[in-house]
């Protein structure tokens, strides 16, 4: 692994203020960040329906797109998965009615399942959203409609972290979604280093947000060392760095 005093930690946030914030956070924690954006946004130009009883936004990107489009929630109860999405909604001038204690799709379903029978729920998100929200609300008796606000694709030129991993120069990785796992391994494939990266990362610390990301990582052959105790990047970064310092 890296011989530098500061652990090298790969981070795969979108190439905007989120990768900048993630890099700054890791530096402040004493790590050497390796920013390698694995997600690029392609808007669909669709907007959420306006006749729902509940509207669910799942990301800052989704909030920015609906705000730019001038979308209004009307009388709907506005739900955000996690504080980052809630903050983005408030900054855009929306009121936030529901944020689950557990910042996950299943956490939101658990929060609302007793009150949504017979209601209409609009879920506005990317094309890679998990089925947990849709199926959970439908099982609770709601009528659910999904609007895809944007597609998530792998940016051209991504993958320098995969080469570093294959060379044994990464101490840790922070995966924030199933798609970041898939795109990291696609980038490794494109560079011809997937097998070497997977083998070398057995000695690195792999941190993930949420059970779906963990499941994807395990299915793809990555050993997962920790699932963040809270579904925020800051918690993931802190706990991954702590694990890297303690075990590597």
Q: Is the pLDDT of residue 43 over 50?
A: yes
Q: What is the pLDDT of residues 51-76, one digit of tens each?
A: 999 999 999 999 999 999 999 999 99
Q: For position 93, what pLDDT does the model report?
A: 97
Average of per-residue pLDDT across 99-106 = 90
Average of per-residue pLDDT across 235-248 = 88
Provide the mean pLDDT of the chain. Answer: 93
Cβ neighbour number for residue 1 with a 10 Å cutoff? 16
Q: For position 2, what pLDDT does the model report?
A: 43
> What separation, in Å, do the N-terminal and C-terminal C-alpha atoms of the chain show?
8
Tokens of 123: 């879920």
Q: What is the pLDDT of residues 163-211, one digit of tens each?
A: 999 999 999 999 999 999 999 999 999 999 999 999 999 999 999 998 8
Q: Is the pLDDT of residue 3 over 80?
A: no
Residue 12 near residue 181 (C-beta atoms within 8 A): no
Residue 100 near residue 110 (C-beta atoms within 8 A): yes
Q: For position 125, what pLDDT does the model report?
A: 96
- pTM for the full predicted model: 0.75
With CA atoms as reference, report the closest residue to 73 among 54, 88, 92, 99: 54
Q: Is the pLDDT of residue 135 over 70?
A: yes
Q: For position 204, what pLDDT does the model report?
A: 95
Domains and CATH numbers, the chain: 8-40+159-247 (3.40.50.10090), 44-152 (3.40.50.10090)
* Residue-level length of the chain: 248
Residue bearing tokens 């924690």: 29
Angle between helices 17-28 and 233-247 (to 10 degrees): 40
Q: How far apart are CA 173 and CA 11, in angstroms?
A: 6
Q: What is the DSSP letter of 176?
A: -
Instruction: Give residue 16's Cα distance to chain centre.
Output: 14
Q: What is the pLDDT of residues 72-98, one digit of tens each?
A: 999 999 999 989 999 999 999 999 999
Q: Is 211 helix (H, G, I), strand (E, B) or coil?
A: helix
Residue 10 near residue 161 (C-beta atoms within 8 A): yes
Average of per-residue pLDDT across 13-36 = 94
With CA atoms as reference, report the closest residue to 26 among 236, 225, 176: 236
Spatial CB neighbours of 36, under 8 Å, sequence gap ≥ 6: 10, 11, 12, 158, 159, 160, 161, 162, 184, 187
Instruction: Give residue 26's Cα distance to chain centre.
Output: 17
């Amino acid at each position: 692994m890296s011989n530098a005093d500061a652990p090298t930690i790969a981070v795969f946030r979108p190439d905007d203020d989120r990768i900048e914030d993630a890099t700054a956070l890791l530096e402040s924690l004493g790590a050497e960040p390796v920013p390698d954006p694995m997600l690029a946004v392609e808007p669909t130009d669709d907007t959420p329906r306006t006749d729902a009883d509940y509207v669910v936004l799942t990301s800052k990107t989704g909030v920015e797109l609906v705000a730019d489009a001038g979308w209004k929630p009307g009388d709907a109860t506005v739900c955000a998965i996690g504080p980052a999405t809630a903050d983005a909604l408030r900054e855009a001038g929306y009121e936030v009615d529901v944020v689950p204690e557990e910042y996950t799709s299943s956490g939101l379903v658990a929060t609302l399942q007793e009150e949504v029978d017979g209601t209409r729920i609009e879920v506005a998100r990317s094309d890679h959203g998990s089925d947990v929200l849709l199926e959970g609300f439908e099982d609770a008796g709601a009528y659910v409609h999904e609007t895809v606000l944007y597609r998530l694709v792998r940016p051209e030129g991504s993958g320098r972290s995969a080469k570093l991993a294959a060379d044994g120069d990464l101490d840790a990785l922070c995966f924030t979604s199933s798609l970041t796992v898939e795109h990291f391994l696609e980038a490794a494939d494109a560079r011809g280093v997937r097998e070497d990266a997977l083998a070398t990362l057995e000695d690195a610390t792999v941190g993930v947000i949420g059970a779906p990301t963990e499941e994807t990582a395990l299915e793809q052959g990555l050993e997962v060392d920790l699932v963040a105790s809270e579904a925020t990047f800051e918690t993931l970064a802190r706990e991954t760095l702590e694990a890297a310092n303690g075990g590597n």
